Amino acid sequence: MKNFEIATRRFAALAMTILVVLLFTSTSRAEFYRYNIDELARKAKVRIKEIEQKIWEEQAQDKLQGILSEIKPLYDEAESLLAEKRYEEAVTVYKKIDKLSRNPKITKWLKK
């Protein structure tokens, strides 16, 4: 995904370079080319924002999966401690689970 992002940014820079070259070639066609290149540059910027959003979502998803994989064994451990009537230890483990579930990045991702 990062390669596509780099390519998109290079495309935007290339579009601006082409604009400069075309402005010096002919005044009658320069306005037409400038419009097309400006439009391409705008589309490239929109595409960059979309890509950055997708990258953020993928990273958040990976982090969420990591936290969920941590929480499940902790929950099982807390339940077994509770069944063994080791209440204080179970409460400690439940507090760890609560702390992990209140991660601001995760809650932000879940709200989206």
- Res 24: pLDDT: 52
SS3 31: helix
Concatenate the DSSP letters of all residues of 42-88 into one string. HHHHHHHHHHHHHHHHHHHHHHHHHHHHHHHHHHHHHHHHHHTT-HH
Per-residue model confidence (pLDDT) at position 109: 65
CB 32 within 8 A of CB 74: no
Q: What pLDDT does 1 receive?
A: 54
pLDDT of 94: 92
C-alpha–C-alpha distance, residues 37 and 14, integer Å: 10
pLDDT at 79: 92
pTM over 0.85: no
3-state secondary structure of 96: helix
Nearest CA to 108 out of 42, 64, 66, 48 is that of 64
What pLDDT score does 40 carry? 83
Would you give per-residue pLDDT tens digits along the chain (112 residues)?
566 566 566 656 655 555 555 555 555 555 556 667 778 888 889 999 999 999 988 887 888 888 788 888 989 999 999 999 899 999 999 999 888 878 776 677 666 6
